[in-house]
Amino acid sequence: MKKLLTLALALSSMAALAQQTGNVGIGTKNPDPSALLDLSSTTKGLLLPRMTQAQRDAIKNPVAGLIVYQTDQGIGTYTYDGTTWQPSNAKVGSALVAGAWDKQGNAIDGTDFLGSTNGASLVFKVNNLRSGLIDFGFGNTLFGYRAGIALTPSGGDGVNNLAQGNQALQATTTGSYNVAVGGAALYTNVSGSNNTAIGFASLFTNRGGGNTAIGASTLYSNDTGGSNTTMGQESMYSNTIGSFNMAYGTFALKSNTVGDANAALGFEALKGNIGGHRNVALGSQALVGNQGGSENIAIGGRAGAGNVSGNRNVFIGFRSGEAETGSNMLYIANNETVNPLIKGNFHATAPWVKFNVKVAPGSPTPTTTGYLAIGDFDTAPGGAGAGGLGLPASFSGGAYRLYVQDGIMTEKLKVALRNSADWADYVFAPEYKLKPLTEVETFIKENKHLPNVPSADEMATNGIDVTKTSAKLMEKIEELTLYMIDLNKQVQALKAENETLKSKVNKY
């Protein structure tokens, strides 16, 4: 009887809820026409069936659209889509925080964001290790597994660092203003500041400051070296304490360890340099073999490539001076020849070269050695054969400053005298003794040349000194003038004597 009474009451209640429109309202007398069941309340909610995941999965033949509330694992509302149970977007996380982000994404609007609403730093973790940090207080921005992990958002000394990449800047504690982009970039850096490393393992062992390294393994071994700038795979790879270097190109300055103030531009430029300083290499493999040489300049592919320890060389042009191993040399060429069109030596005691120009070198007092030689010479102009000039060995290169093969053509030539004593005006001095013509005649018969004038053999042996030869010619002209004056006096005397004789004859 009790069960029948309960059923009758339930049917009575359902009848009271039913409306002519065919829908039901609970808590409202006017259910929405579009709803089969309209629930309205400001103090209560709808309670779905609650069950564990195991209980949910045990439901036999669930119909599509069936909704339950799961109480464990991924807590929240689930809807069966005919194939599997799907979580709703309005899911409650395991910590029962409403509005959590779904691992498969959320539908968001312009007001949604990931982050904080207070002054706390934002931290990301992978494998429970910090792998991302936007530091509110000290300006560090770090992304990547263990990137900058030693920097603490609570207030280490390092500030305004940027790290992006697996373990980039992972050891830094007090270093500041560093940029590390790439896996293991600035990996062991602790206190170095103002460094920029872009590329895998760039500035890997760095402790120095002010370095810029772009490219995989650039400045890899750098220890305390500072103010270096390099770009290109493994450029300046071995540098440890060298500073103020600049390298652009794959393997440029790769072996440099302690050299300072070098500049290398090009593939393998200055690749072998270890301790050389202030070298400039522009071109693929320029100065590639240099190890300890300093203050060299090489411009052109493989220019000065063979130099190892030579200093202060200048190589200009493709393969110029490629085989040169000495110091203070000048090469201007477009191939590897050891005797190019222009070759020189800056040293004060340099041997002769094909094109040698010296302008009073030396310090602190300039020297006067050196000469200019123009022609196809392979040896010094001085010495046997005068280097191809076809002259005797007595022509010493040390006494002259200009050698020209085949001759000189010019519209004007002016020869300066050191002083007036080098000219022949001494002939007109009262004390000058003019040889009698009989003595001159005798000398000519015996020597076959004028007195005080070099013979043909002497000229062939020693050459013609234009200044001395001109002075000797003027000496003979002036002597000849004196002879003519004397002869004129004798002629005038004879004429006078002849006139006297003629007048006497006429009287008789």
pLDDT in tens, 448-489: 888 888 888 888 777 777 888 888 888 889 889 888 988 898
| Interval 44-102: pLDDT, tens | 888 999 999 999 999 999 998 899 999 988 888 999 988 889 887 543 444 444 556 77
Alpha-carbon distances of 260 from 162, 263, 292, 295, rounded to whole Å: 28, 9, 11, 11
Indicate whether 451 belongs to any domain.
yes
Indicate whether 2 belongs to any domain.
no
**Phi, psi values for residue 398, rounded to 5°:** -70, -20
Indicate whether 399 belongs to any domain.
no
| Banded model confidence at residue 428, pLDDT cuts 50, 70, 90 | confident
Indicate whether 232 belongs to any domain.
no
Q: What is the pLDDT of residue 370?
A: 53
Indicate whether 466 belongs to any domain.
yes
Indicate whether 10 belongs to any domain.
no
Interatomic CA distance for residues 278 and 242, integer angstroms: 11
Q: What is the pLDDT of residue 3?
A: 53
Range of the domain at 447: 441-507
Last residue of a domain, one of 97, 119, 136: 97
| Interval 21-30: pLDDT, tens | 578 888 888 8
Last residue of a domain, one of 78, 97, 116: 97
Last residue of a domain, one of 80, 97, 114: 97
Asked if the model's pLDDT at residue 225 lies above 70, the reply is yes
| Interval 199-210: pLDDT, tens | 999 999 999 999
**Phi, psi values for residue 180, rounded to 5°:** -125, 115
- For 347, counting Cβ atoms within 10 Å of its Cβ (0-12 exposed, 13-18 middle, 19+ buried), the class is middle
Residues 6+ apart with CB under 8 A from 40: 25, 26, 27, 28
Q: What is the pLDDT of residue 95?
A: 40
Flag whether the pTM goes above 0.85.
no
Counting residues of the chain whose pLDDT is more than 90, the rounded percentage is: 47
Range 237-244 average pLDDT: 96
Interatomic CA distance for residues 229 and 277, integer angstroms: 15
Range 402-417 average pLDDT: 81
Indicate whether 324 belongs to any domain.
no
Asked if the model's pLDDT at residue 282 lies above 80, the reply is yes
Q: What is the pLDDT of residue 355?
A: 47
Q: What is the pLDDT of residue 9?
A: 47
Count up the domains in the chain and report the number.
Answer: 2
Q: What is the pLDDT of residue 288?
A: 96
3-state secondary structure 400-459: CCEEECCCCCCCCCCCCCCCHHHCCHHHHCCCCCCCCHHHHHHHHHHHCCCCCCCCHHHH
* 357 alpha carbon, distance to own chain's centre: 31
Q: What is the pLDDT of residue 345?
A: 79
Averaged confidence pLDDT in the chain? 83
| Banded model confidence at residue 137, pLDDT cuts 50, 70, 90 | confident
Residues 6+ apart with CB under 8 A from 90: 76, 77, 98
**Phi, psi values for residue 474, rounded to 5°:** -65, -35
Asked if the model's pLDDT at residue 385 lies above 50, the reply is no
Asked if the model's pLDDT at residue 361 lies above 50, the reply is no
Q: What is the pLDDT of residue 111?
A: 82
Q: Give the long-range contacts of residues 318-325, CB within 8 A, separation 24 or more.
A: 318/283
Asked if the model's pLDDT at residue 424 lies above 90, the reply is no
Indicate whether 135 belongs to any domain.
no
| Banded model confidence at residue 383, pLDDT cuts 50, 70, 90 | very low
Residue 281 in tokens: 């290499």
| Interval 151-188: pLDDT, tens | 987 766 899 999 999 999 999 999 999 999 999 999 99
Cis peptide before 364 (omega within 30 of 0): yes
Is the dihedral angle over the CA atoms 54, 58, 61, 65 positive or is it negative? negative
